[in-house]
């Protein structure tokens, strides 16, 4: 459990200016849970789910402008403290225009990443296991998810469902710009729960089969973000008929390290 350190008063936190970065690894969920809705609509709470809308969100050394960041429940302690951050972060990748999500698995605690492609994309509707090898998509653990928008957005949002849904962000009840046309977006995703990954709430954790041999480590938000934007760039290049782009983030482990994916 992290050592206690001095922190600003509640009054100071409430006076935090709009646009301040939402910390990914030191977020005060207790403070978030005390707000029902901020004056500008940037914080919305429903039961034990808090959504922060349209604010910068820190991932490692970078900050992105998130469409929404969702926090479920109170902060975690002890072994669970490595979970950190939001339970779901959704944003539109400025380089490709594709909508992206990082989501925490419930109940195991590892992270997964997703990118949505539009209906005219060559891979729209493809099962992740049926994508032709010539597309040579490279992402952590290989693609493990493929599905149309999960239920589609709903202006009458129920935050607990939305915090666990693979779909683009619906606007708040009071907002305009409902993107109903995106309901048929096709999501492709990957997960960080392979033999070379530490899964926070797995009982065996790093000591599980081949964990030591493969140098298993926890894949944090900064790593998963790089994997997501690199996946988005690859998918954009496929749509444009362009060559495979140069990777900008860390290369994922070789698929052959996982006996389930080898061959």
Please state the pTM of the whole predicted model: 0.77
Q: Which of 117-126, 213-222, 247-256 has the highest mean pLDDT?
A: 117-126
Domain span including residue 178? 18-257
For the stretch 154-164, pLDDT in tens is 556 678 888 88
Residue 70 resides in a domain: yes
Residue 80 lies in a domain: yes
| Tokens at 238, concatenated | 């496929």
With beta carbons less than 8 A apart as the criterion, state whether 55 and 42 touch. Answer: yes
pLDDT score at 125 = 95
In degrees to the nearest 10, what's the CA dihedral of 41, 149, 195, 132? -140
- The C-alpha atoms of residue 139 and residue 149 are separated, in whole angstroms, by 21
Q: Could you tell me the pLDDT band of residue 87, with boundaries at 50, 70 and 90?
A: very high
Q: Report if residue 170 sits inside a domain.
A: yes
What is the tally of structural domains in the chain?
1
* Percent of the chain whose pLDDT exceeds 90: 37
Q: Residue 7 domain-assigned?
A: no
- pLDDT over 50 at 250, yes or no: yes
- Kindly state whether residue 12 falls inside one of the protein's structural domains: no
Is the residue at 13 inside a domain?
A: no
> Looking at the predicted structure, is the pLDDT value of residue 172 above 70?
no
Per the CB < 8 A criterion, the answer to whether 190 and 145 are in contact is yes
pLDDT tier for residue 28 given thresholds of 50, 70 and 90: very low
Please give the pLDDT value at position 81: 43
| pLDDT recorded at residue 230 | 97
Question: Does residue 8 lie in a domain region?
Answer: no
Instruction: Name the E strands within the chain.
Output: 43-46, 49-53, 56-59, 62-65, 68-72, 88-92, 99-104, 111-117, 145-148, 186-191
CA 221/CA 84 separation, integer angstroms: 9
Contacts of 25 by beta carbon, 8 Å cutoff, 6+ apart: 58, 84, 85, 220, 221
DSSP state, 23? Answer: P
Rounded Cα distance between 66 and 147, Å, is 22
If one compares 140 and 262, the residue with the highest pLDDT of the two is: 140
23 part of a folded domain: yes
Worst-scoring range by mean pLDDT, 103-107, 192-196, 205-209? Answer: 205-209
Tokens representing residue 42 in the block: 């940037």
């Amino acid at each position: 459990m992290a050592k206690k350190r001095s922190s600003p008063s509640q009054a100071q936190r409430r006076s935090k200016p709009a646009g301040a970065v939402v910390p990914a690894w030191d977020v005060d969920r207790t403070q978030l849970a005390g707000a029902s809705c901020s004056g500008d609509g940037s914080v919305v709470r429903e039961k034990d789910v808090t959504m922060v809308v349209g604010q910068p969100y820190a991932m490692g050394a970078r900050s992105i402008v998130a469409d929404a960041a969702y926090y479920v429940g109170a902060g975690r302690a002890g072994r669970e403290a490595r979970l950190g951050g939001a339970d779901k972060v959704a944003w539109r990748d400025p380089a490709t225009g594709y909508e992206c999500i990082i989501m925490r698995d419930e109940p195991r605690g590892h992270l997964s990443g997703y990118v949505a492609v539009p209906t005219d994309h060559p891979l729209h509707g493809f099962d992740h296991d049926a994508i032709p090898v010539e597309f040579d998509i490279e992402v952590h653990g290989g693609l493990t998810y493929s599905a149309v928008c999960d239920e589609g957005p709903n202006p009458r949002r129920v935050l607990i469902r939305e915090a666990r849904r693979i779909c683009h962000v619906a606007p708040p009840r009071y907002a305009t710009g409902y993107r109903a046309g995106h309901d048929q977006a096709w999501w492709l995703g990957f997960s960080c729960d392979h033999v070379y990954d530490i899964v926070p709430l797995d009982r065996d954790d790093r000591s599980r089969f081949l964990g030591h041999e493969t140098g298993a480590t926890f894949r944090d938000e900064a790593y998963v973000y790089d994997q997501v934007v690199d996946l988005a760039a690859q998918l954009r290049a496929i749509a444009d008929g362009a060559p495979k782009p140069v990777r900008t983030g860390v290369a994922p482990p070789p698929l052959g390290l996982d006996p389930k994916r080898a061959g």
